[in-house]
């Protein structure tokens, strides 16, 4: 058998091996299309098969190009026409591939990414709404606790100092304050971790109590945390006497506090 026959036989064998390798890669991809776990298991094999197929293709192209260059330099009859044909068909085959590749990359980078961005943005918006709703529910719960404290104090007959600390611990507040609607302090109970110096009551709180409305707000702190401040009227209004109020300050859990910058100051709950 001459050298030309051997080369043709080797080329045919390599082409057959390359075709079988790509067929195996397609079968692997078909098996993993609907199963992500199987894709993870077969992914290395798919890469190896495609890599081997690429090596076979490069070997065949290299052999053909080497033979064409050898024939060109040896002035073999028909080699120049063959070279021109290879060049023309190479350009005609490469341009559509590059064009399809460019638009495919643009589609993947912009089209599919925009789909995922829309879904992620929608999910984040929904999570934000749920988080703000959770904060509002927690604030309403603290306001209800403050109202229970006011009812207990009103039923005590004026024994505020002895009962205030017990009620503060029961509701889990940082601070309980009894004051007049003008802001004058009557009684105070604070936890050991809190600043013992009493703070002035916010003007907005006093205004809403004078209007007969309860007060609740979410307030940021210097250390980055958040507190829920609530206030309700203490006892019924007595003509000729200044109205009393109960203020309670509650801590906010860290997981909910991280969402405080989204909720901001919420309106008073009636």
Q: Where are the domains of the chain?
A: 3-119, 135-263
Per-residue model confidence (pLDDT) at position 111? 58
Which residue is associated with the tokens 């860290």?
A: 254
How much is the pLDDT for 148? 92
| CATH code for residues 135-263 | 3.30.450.20
Summarised one tens digit per residue, pLDDT across range 12-36 is 776 777 677 767 767 766 666 556 6
Check: pTM over 0.75? Answer yes or no: no
Using 70 as the pLDDT threshold, list the residues of the chain that sit under it: 1-4, 6-8, 11, 14, 18, 22, 25, 28-40, 107-121, 123-124, 126-127, 158, 192-198, 224, 237-238, 240, 255-270
């Amino acid at each position: 058998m001459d050298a030309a026959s051997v080369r043709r036989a080797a080329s045919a064998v390599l082409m057959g091996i390359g075709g079988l390798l790509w067929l195996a890669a397609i079968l692997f991809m078909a098996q993993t299309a609907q199963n992500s776990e199987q894709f993870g298991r077969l992914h290395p094999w798919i890469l190896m098969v495609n890599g081997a197929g690429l090596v076979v293709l490069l070997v065949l192209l290299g052999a053909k190009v080497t033979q064409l260059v050898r024939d060109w330099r040896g002035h073999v009859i028909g080699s120049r026409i063959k070279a021109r044909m290879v060049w023309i068909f190479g350009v005609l085959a490469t341009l559509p591939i590059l064009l399809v590749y460019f638009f495919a990359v643009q589609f993947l980078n912009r089209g599919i990414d925009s789909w995922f961005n829309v879904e992620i943005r929608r999910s984040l918006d929904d999570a934000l709404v749920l988080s703000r709703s959770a904060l509002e529910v927690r604030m309403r719960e603290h306001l209800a606790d403050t109202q229970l404290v006011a009812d207990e104090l009103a039923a005590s007959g004026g024994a505020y100092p002895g009962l205030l600390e017990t009620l503060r611990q029961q509701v889990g507040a940082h601070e309980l304050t009894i004051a007049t609607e003008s802001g004058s302090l009557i009684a105070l109970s604070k936890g050991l971790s809190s600043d013992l110096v009493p703070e002035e009551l916010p003007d907005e709180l006093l205004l809403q109590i004078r209007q007969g409305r309860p007060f609740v707000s979410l307030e940021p702190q210097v250390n980055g945390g958040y507190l829920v401040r609530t206030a309700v009227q203490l006892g019924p209004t007595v003509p000729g006497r200044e109205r009393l109020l109960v203020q309670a300050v509650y801590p906010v859990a860290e997981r909910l506090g991280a969402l405080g910058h989204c909720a901001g100051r919420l309106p008073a709950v009636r």
